[in-house]
Chains A and B, each alone.
Chain A
């Protein structure tokens, strides 16, 4: 039986947020989305240690704290570092990829142009993580 995931989406683009929400509802999945418009907001949310997300979907290109900076903060935290973080990015810049995997990410997904392709990718991604065993803090 697929797990119901608590997903923290860190994304500054409103339409991107809408896309994920719509995708989940279209696919009739029963996951809970927590939205954070930027890194600072996300860190605030993550303060609440008793209600931590199962996975984090992280956009790289954000104002203020960018994705990689946020990832670094996360990985320095003794608890938060265990939350699988999947990058959702437009950039296939090798340098970014290398940097992310070095810091420690659980995945790196390129946002496709076509919405249908996006739906398909998200479906697979969520299906994968919903069958994974996750650390419960």
Chain B
């Protein structure tokens, strides 16, 4: 080894030593530094831990720590207050706190905590110690030891019960409002400043025949939609133009009427919604007012109709106030009275047309109106021409809206012609009555004049017989007998003619007649041969009638039957049947009968079928007349050689 080498080695060693010393020194310094730093850090950590502890203890929200089994090991003051448990004394597990309906949500969140190490914004209900339910908001995380092993979990719990309640209330009222709008009877469209639909409802869809839910329309462009909808209206371009004009103007518009093709009428309102100076949206409302408008229209039409009736009817109409002053007359009244409306307005109707005594009647009528009574009456009125006309007036009180009588309305009909006819008719009737009386009188006089000579003849014949007793032969005596018979027949004829003319002339008062006793009395008076039996099957009723004539009726029919019975055993059966307004009587005999072809003829005067001493041919004509006088009819059933039944009805 060379010197040089040695020297080099020695210098190298020296440098090494020096370097080690320097490094040691640095290390020593660093160690010292490190020591101090550690000391400082520990101090700092302690400080921070205390600080944190203080924060947890004092934060407003509840802070809880639980072990991995869910047992709470730490509650801060707020947690104690929230849950009501004192952790130092009570053993509490998280399970005790979970609200039963939220269990599955709680489990999910717990799993999330296990897997991810935390969960956030857990909102659920919990039970407190006193079983009160509270809404809480929880953020939770897992606590690990230094070896990253989970040891516990911590959570910050905020009581959000109050908040929840008010949220629910808000939702509720929002729902209510939404339902209200949805079901409103008006169609509603709320659009934003860009004319996009923000809100609409069922009625709108219905009115515009949109086959969609209101929610489907949200966000739609109104300008485009109205282009589609315009075809629903009678004037599509007008609809669009007006809409544009409103949109440009941006001022409230109320009560626009839109006529739709199907006849509906919509009322459109427009209201801009402004916040501050900015337009935030526009509210369109549409309402179906078809009914209202039609009502109004039909009301107008009705009014027009009645106005026309009043103007054109052929009845004069006058409206009066409470002082009988004329307020209004129609054209017909102008024609009737001869006055123009201008001439009579304000005039007193009572004095203007009145005739002698008429004013009094009008005054009475006016008093009736004041009592609210309506009625009709006839007046004589003097027209402008001075002629007197007869008017039939129907007057009624006129009321105002408050129901007070403000006058009267009279409808006038000129009945002069009718009235004249009536007077004429009365005169005619009078005349007829007089001539009837005269005729009656005449019949009596004639019959008297005809009977007198017969009586004289009879007396003379009697005297001839008396004065020539014993001198006359049998033939002469027979002839005298024939003269007497003929005289009797002649007298009977005259009597019958007189009777016939009397029936219907006498206006005897109708009285209650007991037919049953009348007929039995009649039978006892009449001559009934021994071989004829008269039977009544039912009790005869009482009817309203002329007793004398009814007696004559039964007498003629019964005598008739008696007269024509040719059988050995005669039978007459009287019966009655109750019809609604009449009684139907029948008188049946087993006489010679009447051939069908004579059935009508026999009721005519002088149509006796069998000329005989006691048959003048007037009896049945009288019968028919009497039946007719009692609103009845007479007919018969008959078979020659078997018998005849007469039927007749008499009004009850």
Contact = CB atoms under 8 A, between A and B. Distances in A.
A3 to B, nearest CB: 27
Contacts of A96: 444
A51 interface: no
A41 to B, nearest CB: 19
B458 A113 contact: yes
Interface in B400-451: 441, 444-445, 447-449, 451
B452 interface: yes
Contacts of B491: 113
A61 B458 contact: no
A50 B286 CA distance: 123
B444 A19 contact: no
B488 interface: yes
Contacts of A22: 463
7 contacts: A61-B448, A61-B449, A91-B445, A113-B455, A113-B488, A114-B458, A114-B488
Contacts of B488: 113-114
A115 B462 contact: yes
A115 B451 CA distance: 13
B458 A115 contact: yes
Interface string A57-99: 0000100000000000000000000000000011101111000
Contacts of B461: 115
The 6 A-B residue pairs with the shortest CB-CB distance, nearest first, are: A115-B462, A15-B456, A90-B448, A115-B459, A93-B444, A113-B491
A123 interface: no
Interface string A86-120: 00011101111000000000000001111110100
Contact of A19 (B441, B448, B459, B484): B459
- For the residues of B in contact with A, the DSSP-based class is helix
Contacts of B231: none
A90 B463 contact: no
A40 interface: no
A16 interface: yes
Contacts of B449: 61
Interface residues of A, number: 21
Nearest to B451: A90
Contacts of A13: 452, 456
Contacts of A93: 444
Interface string B456-496: 10111111000000000000000000001001100100000
A111 B491 CA distance: 12
A98 to B, nearest CB: 12
Contacts of A113: 451, 454-455, 458, 487-488, 491
Contacts of A115: 455, 458-459, 461-463
Interface residues of B, number: 22
Contacts of B458: 113-115
B454 A91 contact: no
B459 A91 contact: no
B445 A15 contact: no
Interface in A6-35: 13, 15-16, 18-19, 22
B451 A15 contact: no
A13 B488 CA distance: 20
B507 to A, nearest CB: 12
A133 B258 CA distance: 115
A17 B409 CA distance: 78
B462 A90 contact: no
B54 to A, nearest CB: 145
Nearest to A116: B462
A89 to B, nearest CB: 8
Given A90-B452, A113-B451, A113-B491, A15 B444 contact: no
Given A19-B459, A113-B451, 18 more contacts: A13-B456, A15-B455, A16-B455, A61-B445, A61-B448, A89-B448, A90-B447, A90-B451, A91-B447, A113-B455, A113-B487, A114-B458, A114-B484, A115-B455, A115-B458, A115-B459, A116-B462, A118-B455
A113 to B, nearest CB: 5
A59 B461 CA distance: 22
A96 B451 CA distance: 17
B509 to A, nearest CB: 14
B448 A118 contact: no
Contacts of B460: 15
Contact of A118 (B441, B447, B459, B484): B459
